[in-house]
Amino acid sequence: MDLNQFIRVVPDFPKPGISFKDITPLLLDAQAREVCLKQLVAPLKDLRATKVVGVEARGFFFGMAIARELGIGFVPVRKPGKLPFETVAQSYDLEYGTDTLEIHSDAIKPGDRVILHDDVLATGGTAAASCELIQKLGGKVVACSFLMELSFLNGHEKLSGQTVHRVLSY
């Protein structure tokens, strides 16, 4: 099965020049979604991971499914002000300005072996900031998992030292 068929490319969304990779057709098709989940999970099975961290919002869909497949906990990383309990925050640079992500401070314990998951690895800023959050709380990132990598943006360079897995590459 060619999973590329289930990624809808939307030009100029959310702004001119961005070629948006829409995963909702993949979520809609039960068979393709299952094939994708199996491919995501395959390289993660033997890592003795203790938690999956998923990044708001599209990292929640498969992040939760991966956690369920592995029988381990799921932790959301969210935009500022969304998490109700005590948080730690990490800011990162965008093309213009900065953005911030937060995680509940009790969600990761020292010694946790963590899989980071998001839908798209683009410039890598989001994933690198998420790894920082995990490490701030004493967790070890054992793998970074993505549905797809936009390889021309070299995001994996911001994740040097991490093992990066992706199902699709553009």
Q: Which residues make up the interface to ligand AMP (CB under 6 A)?
A: 18-21, 55, 58, 118-127, 155
Q: Tally the residues of the chain.
A: 170
Which of the residues 78, 86, 95, 102 is marked catalytic? 95
Token pair 């057709």 is found at 25
The nearest distance, CB 24 to ligand AMP, in angstroms, is 11
- Output 50 or 133, the one with its CB closest to ligand AMP: 133
CB nearer to ligand AMP: give 50 or 117: 117
CB-based contact 7:26 (threshold 8 Å)? yes
The reply to whether 33 belongs to the active site is no
Q: Smallest distance from the beta carbon of 96 to ligand AMP, in angstroms?
A: 13
| Smallest separation (angstroms) from ligand AMP to the CB of 57 | 8
Three-state secondary structure call for residue 24: helix
List the catalytic residue out of 33, 58, 132, 166: 58
* CB of 107 vs ligand AMP, minimal distance in Å: 19
The residue (of 50 and 130) whose beta carbon lies closer to ligand AMP is: 130
Exposure string (b/e) for 78-103, b if CB count within 10 Å is 16 or more?
beeeebeeebeebebeeeeeeeebbb
Cβ burial, residue 12 (10 Å; 0-12/13-18/19+): exposed
58 is catalytic: yes
For residues 164 and 43, is the Cβ–Cβ distance under 8 A?
no
Cα–Cα nearest to 116, from 102, 130, 105, 135: 130
When the beta carbons of 50 and 124 are compared against ligand AMP, the nearer one is 124
Catalytic residues: 58, 95
